[in-house]
Amino acid sequence: MDSKTAIKQLNFLKKSGSKMRLAADDWPTKFQTLISIILSARTRDETTIKVCTELFRRYPTAKKISKRSLDEIKRLIYSVNFYNNKAKNILACSKEIAKRKKFPETFDELVKLPGVGRKTANVFLAEYGNDEIGVDTHVMYISNYLGWANSKRQEIIEKQLKKLFPEKYYKEINWILVQFGKTHTSKKIKNEILDEVKKIN
């Protein structure tokens, strides 16, 4: 696979996906963006956005969430998958951020926060214009299917994609592939389209 072909395939996928709001999009603060990404793991974006809208309506800042009880946070985010662990993580994350004078904005700072792994940190950084690639299940599946990558490990896939694509495309990759994956929810139809994408050269 060469870079020129991969870019053509990425552009095709961009046109094939419906434009929709994803969980990381359009929040007014970096804190809210980060919390929404944490809550979005293994959860539909529509569900995450609805839950976060209500959560942030009540408690829009790290300081305000940090003062709530774990049981209350659980009740507010009950609709997201793995809400028990996520409630613990966003409460601990909020407490950590509330203590700081400056919001953590580097990869190394972000992954030290409770609930923030490699994918979450990279999606957050890309959302704010940094050249990073968040590798989630959509990115993993499509990248392997098209031959852009050949691994199930996030870090390896990330490195393979960064080697294949020019830097200016990094921050778009997750967004494009998630949009495509959410548009074509049938695995049969998704694979039929990806088989056509494979023919692009």
Boundaries of every domain in the chain: 3-17+133-198, 30-127
Give the position of tokens 């994803």.
22
Cα separation of 74 and 125, whole Å? 27
- Token pair recorded at residue 35: 């919390």
For 35-78, the DSSP string reads: HHHHHHTTS-HHHHHHHHHHHHHH--SHHHHHTS-HHHHHHHTT
Domains 3-17+133-198 and 30-127 share a fold: no
Residue of 38, 191, 64 whose CA lies nearest to 117: 38
pLDDT of the chain, 201 residues: tens digit per residue: 899 999 999 999 999 999 899 999 999 999 999 999 999 999 999 999 999 999 999 999 999 999 999 999 999 999 999 999 999 999 999 999 999 989 999 999 999 999 999 999 999 999 999 999 999 999 999 999 999 999 999 999 999 999 999 999 999 999 999 999 999 989 999 999 999 999 998
Give the position of tokens 């049969």.
188
Burial class of 80 by CB neighbour count within 10 A (0 to 12, 13 to 18, 19+): buried
Specify the pTM: 0.93
169 within 8 A of 7, measured Cβ to Cβ: yes
In sequence order, which residues have a C-beta less than 8 Å from that of residue 188 and are 6 or more positions away? none
CATH superfamily of 30-127: Hypothetical protein; domain 2 (1.10.340.30)
Query: For domain 3-17+133-198, which architecture applies?
Result: Orthogonal Bundle (1.10)
Residue 15 CA, distance from chain mean position: 20
